[in-house]
């Protein structure tokens, strides 16, 4: 600044600090469109996946939270756009102030040129007039005094105008400086706010991505659980089918076992009847043997009684008696042998019958177990 003038040659103050309204609006539009496109892309991806519905409560909470965050961001964008419009109005008023300062500067330069022109045209130097013309000198002196007084008045008015212009210029320059400082502070605050919003937006995007990953993980787990559930249902159905088949086979095997048990009971009854018949035959044989023994005893008693009589006839009937006794002994031996043989056969046949019955029972049990398996 030279002699109260303002120097506007440095335009770096007004270039690049304040973004234009179009750029700011485009910036906020890009942010809003980015969030909107991300939401639409997420919704389209979620619609296109056709995953099974699971964890709906978590997804609903996440969507409500995302909607609230988007609404807060939209409100913040609206507030920042209003603030941007206010800043643009201030910038326009600043441009008007700059034009006023330039006009006052040009007016000041014009006044200076006028002052310089008046000073150059004013005859403040002594002029050489002819020697004999004294009246003209007096008249010229009066005219010069009148012109000087007029010039002083004009100069005073110009000086007052210049002072007023300088005061206005200083006030406008101070106002402009204060406004520029306020504008810089507001721009710095605005930039800080934009950075905070960008950081918040990035953090919200990161949080959204984390939540999307968690939701994707939960959906995958839900999908796996549903697959496992389906597999378990299939296994349960197959187990039930096998159970039905096993029950049918078990019923059939039980029926066969009942039949085999009934047939075994019939065989046992038949064997018991046969055993009773054999026992009855053994009793009859024992009775016959006892009767034969009694007959033999009686015969021996009769023989003993008749020994005395026989002794007399012994010599005569010795051969006959010997032959008869031999025949009786042979018959008794035969009877005893037959009785012993019958006893041994019956005793040997009983364990064989029991063993055959046990073998039959074991074979039937093994067949029933194989049918159950």
CATH number at residue 68: 1.20.1270
In angstroms, rounded to a whole number, what is the distance separating the alpha carbons of residues 228 and 226?
5
Question: How far is it, in rounded angstroms, from Cα 213 to Cα 58?
Answer: 13
Which residue in 73, 71, 93 sits closest to 81, CA to CA? 73
> Mean of the pLDDT values across residues 220-230?
88
Are residues 237 and 317 located together in one domain of the fold? no
Q: Are residues 210 and 249 in the same domain?
A: no
Pair 365, 250 in one domain: yes
| Close Cβ partners of 257 (under 8 Å, ≥ 6 residues apart) | 364, 368
Q: Indicate the residue among 242, 270, 293 that finishes a domain.
A: 242
Where is 11: in which H helix or E strand?
Answer: none
Is residue 254 within 8 Å of residue 369, measured between CB atoms?
no
Domain for residue 130, yes or no?
yes
Judgement on whether residues 43 and 16 belong to the same structural domain of the protein: yes
Q: Is residue 49 part of a domain?
A: yes
Please report the pLDDT score of residue 126 as a whole number: 42
Look at residue 2 and tell me if it is in a domain: no
Confidence of residue 128 (pLDDT cuts 50, 70, 90): very low
Lowest-confidence region among 31-40, 77-86, 231-240, 344-353: 31-40
Place of tokens 């995302």: 66
- Sequence-distant (≥ 6) Cβ neighbours of residue 289 within 8 angstroms: 335, 336, 339
Residues 347, 356: Cα–Cα separation, whole Å: 15
Asked if residue 195 belongs to a domain, the reply is yes
234 and 269 in a single domain? The answer is: no
Q: What span, in angstroms and rounded, lies between the C-alpha atoms of 302 and 308?
A: 11
- The percentage of the chain sitting over the pLDDT mark of 70, rounded to a whole number, equals 62
Report which of residues 341 and 196 the model is more confident about.
196
Question: 285 with 175, same domain?
Answer: no
Q: What is the DSSP letter of 14?
A: G
Q: Under 8 Å CB-to-CB from 45, ≥6 apart: which residues?
A: none
Continuous segment of H or E residues that includes residue 125: none
CA distance 363 to 359: 6
Residue 155 phi/psi, 5° resolution? -65, -40
pLDDT at 23 over 80: no
Is 221 among the domain residues? Answer: yes
- The chain-wide mean pLDDT, for the chain, equals 71
Contact predicate 55/222, CB 8 Å: yes
> pTM for the whole thing?
0.29
For position 204, what pLDDT does the model report? 79
User: How would residue 321 be classed by pLDDT, with cut points 50, 70 and 90?
Assistant: low
Q: Which two tokens stand for residue 158?
A: 């110009």
Q: Which of 194, 213, 242 is the last residue of a domain?
A: 242
Q: Residues 237, 251: one domain? A: no
Range of the domain at 350: 244-372
**Are 74 and 114 members of one domain?**
yes
Indicate if the alpha-carbon torsion angle 30, 183, 89, 86 is positive or negative: positive
Return the minimum-mean-pLDDT range out of 132-136, 266-270, 328-332.
132-136
- What's the pLDDT at 211? 81
Task: Kindly state whether residues 219 and 344 are assigned to the same domain.
Answer: no
What pLDDT score was predicted for residue 145? 64
Of residues 28 and 329, the one with the higher pLDDT is 329
Give the length of the chain: 373
Q: What is the pLDDT of residue 131?
A: 43
Query: Cα separations (Å) of 240 from 164, 225, 232, 243?
Result: 108, 22, 12, 5
Per-residue pLDDT, 317 = 58
| Stretch 270-275: mean pLDDT | 87
Residue where a domain terminates, one of 187, 213, 242: 242
| Distance between CA atoms of residues 332 and 296, nearest Å | 8
Q: What is the residue whose two structure tokens read 């048990």?
A: 261
Do 273 and 154 lie in one domain? The reply is no
Residue 4 lies in a domain: no
- The mean pLDDT of 332-341, rounded to a whole number, is 75
Q: Could you tell me the end-to-end alpha-carbon distance of the chain, in angstroms, rounded to an integer?
A: 114
Q: Do 204 and 347 reside in the same domain of the chain?
A: no
CB atoms within 10 A of CB 254: 14
Residue 5 within any structural domain of the chain: no
Number of domains in the chain: 2
Same domain? 83 vs 232: yes
How confident is the model at residue 286, as a pLDDT? 82
Residue-wise pLDDT for 133-170, tens only, equals 454 455 555 666 666 677 677 777 777 777 787 787 78
Give residue 365's pLDDT.
61
C-beta of residue 20 within 8 angstroms of C-beta of residue 192 = no
């Amino acid at each position: 600044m030279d002699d109260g003038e303002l120097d506007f040659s440095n335009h770096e103050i007004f270039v690049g600090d304040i973004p234009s309204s179009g750029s700011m609006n485009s910036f906020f539009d890009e942010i809003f469109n980015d969030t909107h496109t991300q939401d639409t892309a997420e919704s389209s991806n979620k619609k296109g996946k056709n995953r099974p519905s699971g964890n709906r409560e978590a997804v609903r909470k996440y969507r409500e939270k995302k909607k609230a965050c988007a609404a807060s961001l939209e409100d913040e964008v609206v507030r920042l756009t209003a603030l941007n419009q206010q800043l643009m109005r201030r910038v326009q008023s600043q441009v008007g102030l700059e034009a006023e300062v330039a006009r006052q500067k040009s007016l000041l330069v014009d006044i200076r040129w006028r002052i310089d022109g008046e000073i150059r045209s004013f005859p403040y130097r002594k002029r050489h007039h002819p020697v004999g013309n004294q009246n003209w000198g007096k008249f010229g002196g009066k005219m010069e005094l009148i012109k000087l007084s007029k010039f002083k008045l004009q100069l005073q008015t110009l000086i007052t105008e210049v002072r007023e212009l300088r005061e206005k210029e200083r006030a406008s320059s101070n106002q402009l400086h204060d406004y520029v400082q306020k504008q810089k502070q507001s721009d710095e605050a605005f930039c800080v706010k934009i950075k905070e919003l960008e950081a918040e937006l990035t953090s919200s995007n990161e949080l959204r991505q984390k939540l999307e990953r968690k939701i994707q993980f939960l959906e995958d787990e839900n999908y796996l659980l549903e697959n496992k559930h389906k597999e378990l249902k299939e296994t349960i159905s197959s187990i039930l089918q096998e159970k039905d088949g096993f029950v049918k086979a078990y019923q059939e095997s039980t029926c066969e076992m009942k039949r085999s048990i009934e047939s075994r009971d019939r065989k046992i009854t038949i064997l018991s009847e046969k055993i009773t018949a054999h026992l009855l035959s053994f009793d009859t044989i024992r009775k016959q043997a006892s009767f034969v023994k009694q007959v033999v005893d009686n015969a021996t008693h009769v023989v003993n009684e008749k020994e005395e009589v026989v002794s007399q006839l012994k010599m005569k009937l010795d051969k006959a008696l010997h032959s008869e006794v031999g025949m009786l002994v042979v018959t008794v031996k035969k009877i005893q042998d037959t009785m012993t043989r019958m006893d041994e056969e019956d005793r040997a046949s009983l364990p064989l019958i029991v063993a055959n019955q046990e073998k039959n029972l074991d074979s039937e049990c093994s067949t029933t177990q194989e049918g159950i398996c």
